[in-house]
Amino acid sequence: MKQPDTSYISSLYGGFWNYGIKDFCYLVNPYFPPRAFTKSLGLRLDELLRSYPSTNWYISSLLAKTLDLTDKEVVIGNGASELISAITMRYVDNLAVSVPTFDEYINRASNQGKTTSLFQMGEDFTFDADQFLRHIRDCSANSALIINPNNPTGTLIAQDSIGYMLESLRHLDLIILDESFIDFADSDPVPSAMNRLFEFPNLIILKSLSKAYGIPGLRLGYAATSNRDVLANLRSDVPIWSINSLAQYFVEEMGDYHEQFLASCLAVRRATQTLYYELQSVPYLYPYPSEGNFVLCKILDSFTASQLTSQLYEQHKMFINDCSRKKGLDDRFVRIASRTAEENIELVRVLRSLSGTKTR
């Protein structure tokens, strides 16, 4: 069978097991779940495939216990993307967004006919809280998005800055704080706002479990808020059986593997930092420091982002994220997902070998 081209593979957004691809594009924790966890799921596979899952409030209550919340403050979704769509549809009129960022928020809001007011980050992608607050005021936004750490830049906003912005934005209808990569941040304390959830009724904290727990195939994410009316509305927007039985089993059992999860996050941090340092040896790349499980790179010469992506895939079956179409970036940027330390070393070795041999 002829190998499909890069544009076709890009259009799939997954399902790469059919093509033997080494995936450095999509963001997962390669060190979790442990073998014992997946084995226990496999032993129950026949029963789980043949059984209906429970309804949303019950599965949400299982997850809520791990967060010291209740099902009245947490709604689980079929991936965070399902909840993003529900949130933007109900509560966004004009969303202030710092770019570059995870474009799904912009895409959902735009497709729903909502306004997105984009704030361009500086050249080094550091985040200036005061400038963003000024932008929110100037564009008359009713809602704001903060992703911490940010995707794709890896920028981490300190805990005191997060608190400062939450206090300054009490007047907004909605603050979305996406903490999908917070478990990978090398910060003490970790700047999560979960412990301040009840201070801000306009705050929704969103998190993708798919990325943090290495389970994108199970499609799990959640939204947490102290505003029970908002939570009830979001739950009414998801189907009664949006979470499948395999995913429910994972939520039921994940607490038994908490120590292994913490160890896996530490392994991710180490692998990502090694990837960052090794990428500095690739002469045509400028990698940016990252507090996520990925590294954003600017291409200095030799390639455009699409050329580099194509050559890696066509010659080495390695797939990275071409950021050419991402808001706030241009055709000189790629995002490289961190996988295991061994896989990262292999990728860097290949990148070094491509120096000065761009596709024409």
pLDDT at 123: 85
Q: Does this chain's domain 6-34+259-353 share its CATH topology with 52-256? A: no
Asked if the model's pLDDT at residue 238 lies above 50, the reply is yes
Q: Could you state, in order of their start, the residue ranges of all structural domains in the chain? A: 6-34+259-353, 52-256
With both helix axes pointing from N to C terminus, report the angle between 159-168 and 129-138 in degrees, rounded to the nearest 10: 20
The tally of CA atoms less than 13 A away on the side-chain side of residue 154 is: 25
Q: E-assigned strands of 20-109?
A: 22-24, 74-78, 94-99
Question: What is the reported pLDDT for 357?
Answer: 52
In sequence order, the β-bridge partners of residue 280 are none
Checking if the pLDDT of 1 tops 60, the result is: no
For residue 335, the tally of other CB atoms under 10 A from its CB is: 26
Q: What's the pLDDT score for residue 360?
A: 35
- The one-letter amino acid at 275: L
CATH number listed for the domain at residues 6-34+259-353? 3.90.1150.10
pLDDT tier at 249, thresholds 50, 70, 90: very high
What is 52-256's CATH topology?
A: Aspartate Aminotransferase; domain 2 (3.40.640)
pLDDT reported for residue 239: 92
Percent of the chain with pLDDT over 70: 98
